[in-house]
Structure 1
């Protein structure tokens, strides 16, 4: 099972890297996320960082302040729907946490609930987002596939996130170009020094 999951992650990363579409209006954004499923309602913090032209890393920390607290790290690919301000995204990642687990006993027709279970699993995510007035609002669905620590193999969660744009994509691209120019300038050999080195070798 672990081999299959590893293959899925590698395949997903390959697909993400192959795209060249620019979809985000932000480089760095952070804010709040509200999550909901059949087991709990969570409040959390979310931060997204663009690492390639249309690829972001998102970190989520969320809790219901009772029996479920989880941490998530996701790699996401963004594609525009109408413009850079309105796009959809999907991705996958890894999660760990401390969760409740429900075990059904058919003999007694009871459901035994335990909590404080150390869990880890694989996440998928799909959603839409809109950026306006330096604020990004998104709606997503995040399925989780448990690898250990929980009786239920699958749990889905609907989330609404509101993030403030900290660094715009244009500013991030400008800094990247400046660093690249400075690096090229630093590594460039002056013309006369290059000729002098050639004559020395001869």
Structure 2
């Protein structure tokens, strides 16, 4: 209910984060804001239960619960794994498939904490067809919200200032006199 009241607000207070993921699988995670309420997440993880390394690329849609610092997200993407395990009959093929994700995150200052449920469905390979994973991610906010937009605007201001200096188009105190444009 509160989320709908703030649905027009940004759902993240960051542009780029990076950190660790701990849970049924462990690894590193990074998120970048692509649009107003959309992020892309890349997870590189290894399992404590299986002998494999997995790379997952996800697109996530965020919705604020109370504010842009506390929100719910859900999304999906693809995963690709490399398996070093084998059974007695035949080696296990490297997994490839679809991953879904749903969770909640909270950002305070430069710390982003999230909990999620992430089922992975193997279309090819893997020890099982479906893995269910949960995890807590601790990320550092490398760039706060609108960092890239602020940098672009600053470059534009500096460029305009330099153009004015070169053209000597400063403020015309003698506005009654026309400038010679030739």
Q: Same fold (TM over 0.5)?
A: yes
Match of 2:61?
Answer: 77
Query: RMSD of aligned C-alpha atoms?
Result: 3.1
Cα deviation per residue 1:74-108 (whole Å; 9 max; x = unaligned)? Answer: 011111101111111111101000247899xxxxx
* Counterpart in the other structure of 1:96: 80
Spell out the pairing of 1:1-202 with structure 2 (5 A cutoff). Answer: 21-36=9-24, 42-64=25-47, 67-99=51-83, 117-150=93-126, 152-177=128-153
Question: Could you list the per-position Cα deviations for residues 127-178 of structure 1 after superposition, in whole angstroms to 9, with x for gaps in the alignment?
Answer: 1000113100000000111110135221110011000000000323323555
Structure 2 CA distance for aligned equivalents of residues 114 and 89 of structure 1: 39
Q: Per the alignment, in what secondary structure is the counterpart of residue 95 of structure 2?
A: strand
Unaligned stretches of 5+ residues in structure 1: 1-18, 37-41, 104-111, 186-202
Distance 1:178 1:148 in 2: 48
Query: In 2 relative to 1, CA 144–85 (structure 1 residues): closer, same or farther, beyond 3 Å?
Result: same
SS of 1:174's partner is helix
- Label 1:144 to 1:113 Cα distance change in 2 as closer, same or farther (>3 A): farther
Looking at structure 2, the residues matched to 153 and 174 of structure 1 have their Cα atoms a distance apart, in angstroms, of 45
| Structure with the largest fraction of helix | 1
User: What is the TM-score when the length of structure 1 is the normalising length?
Assistant: 0.66
Per-residue deviation, residues 105-135 of structure 1 (Å, max 9, x unmatched): xxxxxxx797653110001100100011310
